[in-house]
């Protein structure tokens, strides 16, 4: 459970097994590699604490003991000691070598992807994440985190899962703090992120409406990517494998265009466009059909034009594939072209969905 | 005096220590003006005196530190609140937004302000404060004096460096006045080549960093030549004060590394203006290439920032502990070793870029840098052993430095370790780590060095008690601000976030309160210095009892520093064999004075009398 110090938000019902908390409470790790990372971190922590306390103890004690007194000068003492100096160079080096190999071991285990991992396609863009499942499905589920709606990605428990990641624009980084690892998402090549969520246990799970247990983990973008960088979050929801399979199959069922559009909105548009009239980076979709528009280049569309279904459809399509062509006055030109990431059916779905938002 | 040949005794004798500023000198203080206001301004603007140039750098750096500090306070104030639902009327950026007259409900617009302000903070603090602080301000003033020279090797080049610095800063300020830059101080591509594409602001800011780089290169070159060619007779390499060693190592880094960032930033400007594909994959470039170029410069520059801080601690601790520094040679070699290895560790900023095997090499090399750094800390603490320690303000800053820098160094270990870095990279843990090193290290050392040399620079003492109180306020404020950020980072708080999930709020609020305490501390120090200038007691020649050459001359120094070329007969920290200039048995009664006096006589009457270290 999260601890909301000033609770006014519905935040993810996430596990949040922080390093100190997990080590201190002895809670189970949330994914593979977490225990190894935490234990090397705690090893460094305790070594550092001992060294720090010893050094500062010596510093404070000597500063006090050898404080300047009238009538005294510094006592004679050596200003050089080869054995001591070699010792305090070589002993730390020994610890460093150990830390290096432990870290190397953990790093490699994070990079080598098991051959049986479920491969999901992940796209990062300003400012949202989307995941395509092996059967082509995308998540329609979203949850409010802060002021934004973020997508919820379902993954099965106790199975290796791999994201093949690419960015649609600038650099992003995919970080799940609970999994203790992150990887940059680059615009010109694939990078990979894999994890194997531990089994769900009673202590750290929530329950879905149908009684299925689950565990949530926050995803944050960790590479600065612009205005809404801090809103670029997502939630990874670990569920039993059967529920996972059923869910992605259900998501992929043939749906009517409006529902298809709503799902695309939830997955790719919700971080910037609200459907309830609220303000956000882009114009709200509520009442868009039939609403007159003024654009930053001085041109404008009348309510009559925007009520014409064919005119309206063309405008929305243009706004998706070439968003910089006509920017609604009062909004920044920040939307990346989305044409390559949506099928014709999905674009049509979005148009039909917007029409329903009265 | 002890360190000086008899021929110079008329100017640098014990009497000069007491009769400071006496009329028998053939020239006045470097600060004395020779005419009206306009003549004085013209005199300063065209001066080739390294001390005046140092003072001008100092005022510019302090002014920029003020601006950067205000930006930091704005960032911290903004982070008092996590994001709020716009329908409830409060969103992140609201505080900054309302200050700048922006409607409070538009998250993106308000975030833009936050992003511009944290970029402003980073760019100002790195390029205009920390990099020039110690070398350009204090280094300019003291490097020539510490090696017994009249000036740097190329005084006119030195003035040119200053004007290049001013030009670069003007471009930086221009970028800010035109609306600010939101790239972060690291200018990562392709974000930096595409953001605000219709504006020139990013180009101006990049140009500012490019121009400031030339100022660094020329100052570095000047110092390298100065140290090689202008050392006083009798001063071998291992008779140099450690401040000179560390600034020398810094200067080599600046000369070798800065051209790389110059080229990189030019390429960035080319890509932005002429759409030449170098870093932007949309044009056929490679964004990771920029990171390699950038950190190939910026990692050595991390040591350009910290080595001068260490340099100051090297001076403060032996002088105020009245004891020879422990491990002089290992200190000197540690500076050079750090400088050399620092060229080979740039890849540790990119452990999570692609997950390449090459990262392991960088991790191993990074641990290698940790060894000489640890040796330095051990040496400093070892110097305190059996010392005679005065708790003067500079010493308080030096002890603060040891505390904060040790934390900064130790928290580098989990960042050098590959697997833990995958968790901590780009989190608040990194933010806390580099603030402990850059601010707790360099800035605290800089302020400590300012306290150490203030009486020499301006000929005035300050109120010791007030200075110590504000130092302690800074110490408390610093730890409250940044220690909480280590906890935030391990818990998953990413850096450069305008808003965050609720559970981080308490820690963020503690951190913000700490930043206010820090502001009080630094404002207090400023007041102490202003009071000193207006009403401070006249400083004696050697208020702390130091042995290095700056303590053999008047406070403030005359235009040519020394009346005759000094000849050096002892090492900079030979407190065990040499008495400080201006030493008065009434002030500092010494029990074994006879022994000391004998050692002094040996040193004073021998032309090859400097001790081995």
* Element at A195 (helix H, strand E): strand A191-195
| Comparison of pLDDT for B591 and B42, the residue scoring more | B42
Task: Show the tokens assigned to B335.
Answer: 């500076």
Q: Does A25 reach chain B within 8 Å, measured CB to CB? A: no
Read off the pLDDT of each residue in B369-374 and give the average, rounded to a whole number: 90
Identify whether the C-beta of residue B477 lies closer than 8 Å to the C-beta of residue B517: yes
Q: Does B283 reach chain A within 8 Å, measured CB to CB? A: no
Helix B444-458 and helix B505-535: axis angle, to 10°? 10
Q: What is the pLDDT of residues A68-106, one digit of tens each?
A: 876 666 777 777 888 988 898 899 999 999 999 999 999
What is the structure's pLDDT at B69? 95
d(CA B241, CA B248): 11
pLDDT at B93 over 60: no
All residues of chain B having their beta carbon less than 8 Å from the beta carbon of residue A175 are 426-427, 492, 494
Q: Does A272 reach chain B within 8 Å, measured CB to CB? A: yes
d(CA B441, CA B116): 26
Residue A220: which of B115, B324, B492 has the nearest Cβ? B492
All residues of chain B having their beta carbon less than 8 Å from the beta carbon of residue A73 are 322, 388, 575, 588, 590-592, 596
How many Cβ pairs within 8 Å bridge chains A and B? 352
Residue B410: which of A4, A52, A189 has the nearest Cβ? A52
Q: What is the pLDDT of residues A194-232, one digit of tens each?
A: 999 988 876 556 778 787 888 888 899 999 998 889 889
The nearest alpha carbon in chain B to A191 belongs to B354
Q: Does B414 reach chain A within 8 Å, measured CB to CB? A: yes
The SS3 call for residue A242 is helix
Residues 495-524 of B with CB under 8 A from A: 495-503, 505-506
All residues of chain A having their beta carbon less than 8 Å from the beta carbon of residue B491 are 16, 18, 177
What is the structure's pLDDT at A263? 84
Q: What is the pLDDT of residues A222-234, one digit of tens each?
A: 999 988 898 899 9
pLDDT at B99 over 80: no
Residues B289, B291, B293, B296: is their CA dihedral positive or negative?
negative
Choose the mutation target among A14, A99, A103, A162 for the interface with B, i.e. most B CBs under 10 Å: A103
CATH 1.10.760.10 intervals, chain A: 257-356
DSSP state string for A120-180: EEEEEETTEEEEE-TTS-B---EEEETTEEEEEEEEETTS-EEEEEEESSS-EEEEEGGGT
Burial environment of residue A122 by CB neighbours within 10 A (0 to 12, 13 to 18, 19 or more): buried
Q: What is the pLDDT of residues A42-74, one digit of tens each?
A: 999 999 999 999 999 999 999 999 888 766 667
What band does B10 get if pLDDT is binned at 50, 70 and 90? very low
The alpha carbon torsion through B447, B452, B455, B458 (nearest 10 deg) reads -40
Structural Rg of chain B based on CA atoms = 25
CB contact under 8 A, B367 and A99: yes
| Comparison of pLDDT for B282 and A353, the residue scoring more | A353
How far B246 CA sits from the closest chain A CA (Å)?
Answer: 19
Q: Does B279 reach chain A within 8 Å, measured CB to CB? A: no
Q: Does A202 reach chain B within 8 Å, measured CB to CB? A: no
Residue A230: which of B425, B491, B500 has the nearest Cβ? B500
CATH 2.60.40.420 intervals, chain A: 118-252
Identify whether the C-beta of residue B421 lies closer than 8 Å to the C-beta of residue A103: yes
* Element at A118 (helix H, strand E): strand A118-125
Domains of chain B: 1-40+540-613 (no CATH), 47-539 (1.20.210.10)
Helix B287-321 and helix B428-437: axis angle, to 10°? 40
How far B372 CA sits from the closest chain A CA (Å)?
Answer: 8
All residues of chain B having their beta carbon less than 8 Å from the beta carbon of residue A272 are 108
Topology of domain A19-64+77-111, CATH: Helix Hairpins (1.10.287)
Residues B198, B204, B205, B210: is their CA dihedral positive or negative?
positive
Identify whether the C-beta of residue A130 lies closer than 8 Å to the C-beta of residue A267: yes
Which residues make beta-bridge pairs with A322? Answer: none
What is the structure's pLDDT at B27? 67
Q: What ipTM does the predicted assembly reach?
A: 0.86
What is the structure's pLDDT at B19? 36
pLDDT over 70 percentage in chain B? 86
The nearest alpha carbon in chain A to B291 belongs to A171
The alpha carbon torsion through B310, B313, B314, B319 (nearest 10 deg) reads 170
Identify whether the C-beta of residue B191 lies closer than 8 Å to the C-beta of residue A225: yes
Q: Does A296 reach chain B within 8 Å, measured CB to CB? A: no
Lowest mean pLDDT, pick from A22-26, A337-341, B160-164, B383-387 = A22-26
All residues of chain B having their beta carbon less than 8 Å from the beta carbon of residue A182 are 352, 422-423, 425-426
Instruction: State the CATH architecture for A118-252.
Output: Sandwich (2.60)
Q: Does A224 reach chain B within 8 Å, measured CB to CB? A: yes
pLDDT at B335 over 90: no
Read off the pLDDT of each residue in B179-201 and give the average, rounded to a whole number: 83
Residue A225: which of B82, B191, B371 has the nearest Cβ? B191
What band does B596 get if pLDDT is binned at 50, 70 and 90? low
Lowest mean pLDDT, pick from B441-445, B490-494, B564-568 = B564-568
Mean pLDDT, all residues of chain A: 84
Q: What is the pLDDT of residues B296-319, one digit of tens each?
A: 888 888 888 999 999 899 999 999
pLDDT at A8 over 50: no
All residues of chain A having their beta carbon less than 8 Å from the beta carbon of residue B589 are 70-71
CB contact under 8 A, A105 and B419: yes
Mean pLDDT, all residues of chain B: 84
Q: Which class in CATH covers the domain with range A257-356?
A: mainly alpha
CB contact under 8 A, A63 and B399: yes
Distances (CA, A) of A87 to B375, B380, B409, B512: 10, 16, 19, 42
d(CA B347, CA B349): 5
Task: Show the tokens assigned to B472.
Answer: 């302690």
Q: Does B75 reach chain A within 8 Å, measured CB to CB? A: no
Lowest mean pLDDT, pick from A287-291, B48-52, B358-362, B574-578 = B574-578
């Amino acid at each position: 459970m999260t601890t909301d110090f000033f609770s006014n938000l519905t935040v993810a019902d996430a596990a949040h097994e922080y390093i100190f908390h997990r080590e201190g409470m002895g809670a189970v790790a949330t994914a593979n590699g977490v225990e190894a990372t935490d234990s090397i971190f705690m090893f460094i922590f305790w070594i550092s604490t001992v060294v720090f306390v010893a050094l500062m103890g010596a510093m404070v004690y000597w500063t006090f003991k050898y404080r300047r007194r009238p009538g005294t000068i510094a006592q004679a003492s050596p200003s050089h000691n080869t054995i001591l100096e070699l010792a305090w160079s070589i002993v730390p080096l020994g610890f460093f070598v150990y830390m290096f190999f432990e870290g190397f071991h953990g790093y490699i285990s994070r990079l080598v992807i098991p051959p049986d991992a479920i491969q999901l396609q992940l796209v990062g863009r300003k400012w949202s994440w989307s995941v395509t499942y092996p059967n082509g499905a995308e998540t329609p589920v979203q949850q409010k985190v802060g002021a934004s709606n973020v997508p919820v990605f379902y993954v099965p428990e106790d199975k290796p899962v791999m994201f093949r990641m690419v960015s649609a624009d600038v650099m992003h980084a995919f970080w799940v703090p609970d999994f203790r690892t992150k990887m940059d998402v680059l615009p010109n090549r694939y990078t990979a992120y894999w994890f194997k969520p531990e089994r769900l246990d009673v202590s750290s799970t929530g329950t879905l409406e149908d009684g299925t247990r689950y565990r949530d983990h926050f995803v944050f973008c960790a590479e600065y990517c612009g205005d809404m960088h801090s809103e670029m979050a997502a939630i990874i929801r670990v569920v039993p494998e059967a529920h996972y399979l059923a869910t992605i199959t259900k998501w992929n069922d043939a749906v009517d265009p409006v529902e298809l559009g709503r799902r695309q909105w939830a997955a790719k548009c919700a971080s910037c466009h609200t459907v309830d009239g609220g303000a956000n980076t882009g114009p709200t979709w509520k009442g868009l059909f039939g609403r007159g528009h003024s654009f930053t280049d001085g041109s404008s569309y009348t309510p009559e034009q925007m009520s014409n279904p064919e005119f309206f459809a063309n405008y929305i399509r243009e706004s998706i594939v070439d968003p910089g062509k006509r920017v609604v006055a009062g909004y920044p030109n920040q939307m990346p072209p989305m044409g390559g990431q949506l099928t014709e059916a999905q674009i049509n779905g979005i148009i039909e969905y917007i029409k329903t938002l009265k | 005096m002890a360190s000086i040949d008899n021929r110079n005794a008329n100017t640098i004798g014990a009497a000069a220590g007491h009769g400071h500023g006496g009329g028998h000198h053939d020239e006045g203080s470097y600060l004395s003006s020779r005419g009206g206001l306009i003549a004085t301004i013209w005199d300063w603007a065209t001066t080739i005196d390294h001390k005046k140039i140092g003072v001008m750098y100092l005022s510019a750096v302090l002014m920029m530190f003020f601006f950067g500090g205000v930006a930091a306070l704005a960032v911290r104030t903004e982070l008092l609140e996590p994001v709020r639902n716009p329908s409830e009327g409060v969103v992140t950026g609201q505080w900054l937004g309302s200050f700048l007259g922006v409607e409070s409900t538009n998250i993106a617009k308000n975030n833009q302000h936050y992003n511009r302000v944290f970029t402003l903070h980073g760019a100002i603090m790195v390029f205009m404060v920390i990099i020039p602080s110690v070398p350009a301000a204090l280094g300019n003033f003291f490097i020539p004096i510490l090696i017994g020279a009249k000036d740097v090797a190329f005084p006119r080049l030195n003035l040119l460096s200053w004007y290049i610095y001013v030009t670069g800063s003007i471009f930086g300020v221009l970028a800010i006045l035109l609306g600010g830059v939101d790239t972060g101080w690291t200018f990562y591509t392709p974000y930096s080549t595409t953001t605000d594409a219709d504006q020139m602001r990013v180009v101006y800011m990049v140009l500012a960093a490019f121009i400031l780089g030339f100022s660094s290169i020329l100052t570095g070159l000047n110092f390298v030549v100065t140290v090689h060619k202008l050392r006083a007779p009798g001063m071998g390499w291992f008779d140099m004060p450690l401040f000179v060693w560390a600034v020398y190592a810094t200067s080599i880094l600046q000369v070798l590394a800065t051209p790389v960032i110059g080229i990189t930033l030019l390429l960035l400007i080319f890509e932005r203006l002429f759409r030449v594909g170098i870093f932007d994959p949309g044009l056929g470039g490679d964004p990771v290439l920029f990171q390699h170029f950038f950190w190939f410069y910026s990692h050595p520059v991390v040591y350009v920032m910290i080595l001068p801080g260490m340099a100051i601690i090297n001076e403060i601790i032996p002088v105020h502990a009245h004891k020879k520094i422990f491990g002089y040679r290992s200190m000197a070699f540690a500076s050079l070793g750090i400088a050399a290895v620092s060229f080979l560790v740039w890849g540790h900023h990119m452990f999570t870029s692609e997950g390449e095997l090459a990262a392991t090499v960088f991790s191993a090399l990074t641990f290698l840098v940790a060894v000489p750094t640890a040796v330095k800390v051990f040496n400093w603490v070892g110097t305190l052993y059996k010392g005679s320690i005065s708790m003067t303000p500079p010493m308080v800053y030096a002890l603060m430095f040891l505390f904060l820098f040790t934390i900064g160094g130790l928290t580098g270990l989990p960042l050098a370790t590959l697997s833990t870095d995958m968790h901590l990279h780009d989190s608040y843990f990194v933010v806390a780590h580099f603030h402990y090193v850059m601010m707790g290290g360099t800035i605290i050392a800089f302020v400590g060095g300012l306290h150490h040399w203030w009486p020499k620079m301006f000929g005035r003492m300050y109120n010791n008690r007030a200075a110590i109180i504000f130092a302690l306020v800074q110490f408390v404020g610093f730890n409250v601000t940044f220690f909480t950020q280590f906890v935030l980072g391990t818990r998953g708080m990413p850096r450069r976030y305008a808003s965050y999930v609720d559970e981080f709020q308490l820690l963020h609020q503690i951190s913000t309160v700490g930043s206010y305490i820090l502001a009080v501390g630094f404002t207090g120090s400023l007041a102490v210095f202003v009071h000193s200038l207006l009403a401070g007691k006249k400083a004696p020649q050697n208020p702390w009892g130091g042995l290095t050459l700056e303590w053999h001359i008047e406070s403030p120094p005359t235009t040519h520093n020394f009346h005759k070329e000094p000849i050096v007969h002892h090492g900079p920290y030979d407190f065990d064999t040499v008495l400080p200039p201006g030493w008065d048995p009434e002030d500092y009664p010494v029990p074994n004075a006879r022994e000391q006096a004998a050692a002094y006589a040996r040193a004073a009457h021998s032309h090859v009398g400097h001790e081995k270290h």
